[in-house]
Amino acid sequence: MSTIQEYDLLITGGLVVTMNPGLDLIEEGYLLVRNGRIIEIGPRSQLRPAIAAKRVLDAGEKLVMPGLINAHTHAPMALFRGIADDRELMDWLANYIFPAEATAVTPDFVDWGTRLACWEMIRSGTTTFADMYFFEDTMADAAAQAGMRALLSQGIAEGPTPDSATAADGLARAEAFIAKWKGHPLIYPAVGPHSAYACKPSTLLRAKQIADQCAVPLLIHLAESQSENRLIQEQYHTTPVRHLGKLGLLDKNLVAAHCVWIDEEEIEMLYRHDVGIVHCPQSNMKLGSGIAPVPHFLKLGIKLGLGTDSPASNNRLNMVSEISAVAKLHKAAALDPTVVTAQQSIAMATMGAARALGMADEIGSLEVGKRADIVVVTLDEPNALPLYDIYSHMAYALESSNIETVIIDGRVVMENQVMMTLDTEAIRVQARQIKTKILGSLSVPHKGH
Ligand SMILES: [Zn+2]
């Protein structure tokens, strides 16, 4: 058997954090990658001497971990980062974000916003993101060119959105988007009705029908704020979760972002129907929305992922920072440092997110047969010395600046912090130019420059 260039990539040495079901750690490990998948993983002592690979990465003294998953965001909104802050969700949406989107969001905006977001996400160790936005085709093209894995849903709402005059137009776009992208190795299409307050029941039902027919996930915002719950109470005399329950939307293909304002019975309902939840702690904090009952979700074993939400409500797309936040927020809220451990926080950004998004067979851990989405992190920097417990390090000590190399689908997309798939200078120029254009066309108050 020939061994010359039999493998695409060999990573040797380093501490491998697998996040597999046994949470195995491999002290001095190796991984072999072929055709975008992990073919072998184990201790380096078991690596056969005759192995040859097109690329060899030495990860000695480094951390090798699964790529992080940002399970809820709106990536192109990176171009709205800092446009309006310190406001309540409904005020922020109705008076700032929706008007800004109506004027500014074009295919060009989505293209450059996605590139900017992919740069920030790859730079901070994210290899997959789940998204809901507009001009989804443009977004898919930009994400695929950046080499990122993405679960992308066409955003749907009543009334005009940046790409659809009506909800029916948005639903038609969603169908066409799924037909075009289903089966792509990096882009996983989905349907994204914005929320129960932005979509009528008939729109939600049609979105669900499309998701079922095409066997793709349905992404939605759910019970994010008290104002959302008040709106649903006024319109439908129930809560957002019960409203979706009555419509028959609760099932294993539903990915519900936030779930902050839900009671115990509703948590049980979501668990029973195998709904995936995405917790966005920093966005919930910044918008003053509240604190989701995450310890309760964890106790039940709900499929639970972690997300940044949009870069306009966070204002980062940095999962290293999000892991650190979730590991601490719930301890303070519960006055109990034993809730939401370091390991559980990391699981939310890896296997938990993969489960919530219906992608657990493909990503979320370093295991044979899974996609080779791998992050190599230096442990040489002062904030990483000394090392006692790797999970403690990952949740409480590491920074995104420690991330050196990122591999997605077996392809090196960032090497030694140099972006391989994105023209970062062009993105810088465009981000500044688009900001100037947005300010010229908006009455949105802004501070500084
Ligand atoms: Zn969101």
What is the tens place of the pLDDT at every residue in 62-100? 999 999 999 999 999 999 999 889 888 888 888 888 888
> What CATH number corresponds to the domain at position 379?
2.30.40.10
**221 and 197 co-located in one domain:** yes
State in Å: Cα 196 to ligand 1 middle: 13
How far apart are the CA of 284 and the centre of ligand 1, in A? 10
Pick from 309, 332, 356: which residue ends a domain? 356
Summarised one tens digit per residue, pLDDT across range 14-45 is 999 999 999 999 999 999 999 999 999 999 99
Contact 206, 244 (CB under 8 A): no
Q: Assign 230 a pLDDT band (cuts: 50, 70, 90).
A: very high
What's the pLDDT at 206?
A: 98
Judge whether 128 lies within some domain. yes
Same domain, 145 and 107: yes
- For residue 364, being part of any structural domain is answered with no
Q: Let me know whether 108 and 190 are in one domain.
A: yes
Q: What is the pLDDT of residues 314-340, one digit of tens each?
A: 999 999 999 999 999 999 999 999 999
Residues 251 and 382 in one domain: no
Q: How far is the CA of 72 from the centre of ligand 1 (A)?
A: 6
Task: State residue 74's pLDDT score.
Answer: 98
Instruction: Inform me whether the pLDDT recorded for 441 exceeds 90.
Output: no
The verdict on residue 156 lying in a domain is yes
Q: Is 159 helix (H, G, I), strand (E, B) or coil?
A: coil
* Residue whose structure tokens are 């849903």: 153
3-state secondary structure (DSSP) of residue 36: coil
Residues 194 and 183 both lie in one domain: yes
The CA distance from 439 to 449, in Å, is 10
Count the Cβ atoms, other than its own, within 10 Å of residue 268: 14
Are 344 and 400 in the same domain?
no
pLDDT tens, position by position, 176-192: 999 999 999 999 999 99
- Give me the half-sphere count of Cα atoms (radius 13 Å) on the Cβ side of residue 183: 3
Between 52 and 244, residue with greater pLDDT: 244
DSSP state of 320: H
Amino acid at 145: Q
pLDDT (0 to 100) of residue 5 = 57
In a domain, 362, yes or no: no
Report d(CA 130, CA 448) in Å as an integer: 31
Contact present, 327 and 395 (Cβ < 8 Å) = yes
CA torsion sign, 241 to 245 to 251 to 255? negative
Q: How far is the CA of 413 from the centre of ligand 1 (A)?
A: 26
Q: Answer yes or no: are the C-beta atoms of 329 and 279 closer than 8 Å.
A: no
| pLDDT grade for 448, boundaries at 50, 70 and 90 | very low
- pLDDT for 3 equals 45
What pLDDT is stored for residue 443 in this prediction?
A: 62
Q: Are strands 254-258 and 276-279 parallel, antiparallel or unpaired?
A: parallel
Q: Are residues 34 and 148 in the same domain?
A: no
Rounded to the nearest whole angstrom, what is the distance from the C-alpha of residue 311 to the centroid of ligand 1?
10
Containing 157, the helix (H) or strand (E) segment is none
Looking at the structure, do residues 403 and 283 belong to the same domain, yes or no? no
What are 362-393's pLDDT values in tens digits? 999 999 999 999 999 999 999 999 999 999 99
What's the gap in Å between 46 CA and the centre of ligand 1? Answer: 45
* Distance in angstroms (rounded) separating the CA atoms of residues 337 and 327: 9
Please state, rounded to an integer, the average pLDDT across all residues of the chain.
Answer: 95
Distance 62 CA to ligand 1 centre (A): 34
- pLDDT tens digits, one per residue of 279-306: 999 999 999 999 999 999 999 999 999 9
E strand spans, 52-200: 53-58, 62-66, 68-73, 126-133, 149-156, 187-193
* Alpha carbon of 74 to ligand 1 centroid (Å): 6
Helix and strand numbers, DSSP H then E, in the chain = 16, 19
Per-residue pLDDT band at 352 (split at 50, 70, 90):
very high
% of the chain surpassing 90 pLDDT: 90
Statement to judge: residues 44 and 109 lie in one domain:
no
User: What is the per-residue pLDDT for 445?
Assistant: 54
Give me ligand 1 centre to Cα 218, in Å: 13
Domain assignment present for residue 322? The answer is: yes
Cα separation of 344 and 352, whole Å?
A: 9
What is the pLDDT at residue 262? Answer: 98
Give distance in angstroms: CA of 134 to centre of ligand 1.
Answer: 13
Supply the range of the domain harboring residue 395. 7-66+372-419
Note whether residue 11 is domain-resident.
Answer: yes
CATH number, residue 325: 3.20.20.140
Q: What is the pLDDT of residue 232?
A: 98
| Ligand 1 geometric centre to CA of 67 (Å) | 21
**Do 76 and 54 fall within a single domain?**
no
> Is 120 inside any structural domain?
yes
Other beta carbons within 10 Å of 166: 15
pLDDT at 97 (0 to 100): 87
User: How many whole angstroms from 133 Cα to the centroid of ligand 1?
Assistant: 9
Residue 1 has pLDDT above 50, yes or no: no
Burial of 103 (0-12, 13-18, 19+ CB in 10 A): middle
In a domain, 428, yes or no: no
| Same domain as 214, residue 262 | yes
| Mean pLDDT value of segment 208-233 | 98
Q: What is the pTM of this model?
A: 0.96
Q: According to the model, what pLDDT value does residue 49 have?
A: 87
Residue with more model confidence, 103 or 138: 138
> Are residues 284 and 392 part of one domain?
no
Q: How far is the CA of 35 from the centre of ligand 1 (A)?
A: 33
Number of domains in the chain: 2
